[in-house]
Amino acid sequence: LLQEHARASGCDSAVWTLADGHPVLAAGSRGGLPVPPLPPSGSAPVDTPGGRLRLEPVRGLSDTWLAAGPLRAGGDGGDDADVTLAAQARFLGAMIARVVGATVGAEQAAHELGERYEEINLLYSISETLGSAVSLERNARTILVEVSETVSAARAAIYLHERSTGTLQA
């Protein structure tokens, strides 16, 4: 994304994160981009030895920000260049936030799908156990082990209602 944007716009960019209090390059449109200061609290222009950058926090990711610039194509570095650089930074910041959001959403969906798969397998295993109809105690023990493993329980019990006494019996 960053490389394609740089080719199309002439605006280099990089995503930075903090590791042990120091900026670490996560991704960039090209090597040799100047290291920006620590994450800004909001969008801000910054002059570096390599040129003027625009910093933009990446929404949804703490201690992660985008540095856009310096502009390679045209401009004298005046007000028009600052406006263009700010627009590029806002655009890329929004795109990165969406990509990250989509990635997190896909990971959550995959995790939930895995959990549902385990539940379906558990139901299938229970139906096979009940279909074998060996004995109530043996079926109960098998089902208890299957459920315990699926939900990662260290201890489990099945209680049956005793009609004559009105109590539950393990």
For residue range 9-35, list pLDDT tens digits in order: 778 888 888 888 888 888 888 766 666
DSSP string, 96-165: HHHHHHHHHHHHHHHHHHHHHHHHHHHHHHHHHHHHH---HHHHHHHHHHHHHHHTT-S-----EEETTT
How far apart, in whole angstroms, are the C-alpha atoms of residue 104 and residue 112? 12
How far apart, in whole angstroms, are the C-alpha atoms of residue 68 and residue 30? 12
19-28, 34-43, 119-128: the lowest-pLDDT one: 34-43
| Nearest of 62, 54, 50, 69 to residue 10 by alpha carbon | 69
| Nearest of 42, 74, 69 to residue 56 by alpha carbon | 42
Q: Which element (helix H / strand E) includes 68?
A: strand 64-71
Cβ-Cβ contacts under 8 Å for 162 (sequence gap 6 or more)? 168, 169
167 pLDDT higher than 90: yes
Q: If you average pLDDT over residues 89-112, what whole number do you get? A: 83
For residue range 51-87, list pLDDT tens digits in order: 778 888 888 788 888 888 776 645 444 556 666 777 8
117 pLDDT higher than 80: yes
Q: What is the pTM of this model?
A: 0.53
| Nearest of 45, 134, 42 to residue 83 by alpha carbon | 45
Provide the token pair at 57.
Answer: 């926090």
Q: Count CB neighbours of 134 within 10 A.
A: 10
Q: Which element (helix H / strand E) includes 82?
A: helix 79-132
Q: Tokens 């910054």 appear where?
A: 46
What number of CA atoms fall less than 13 Å from residue 169's CA on the CB side?
7
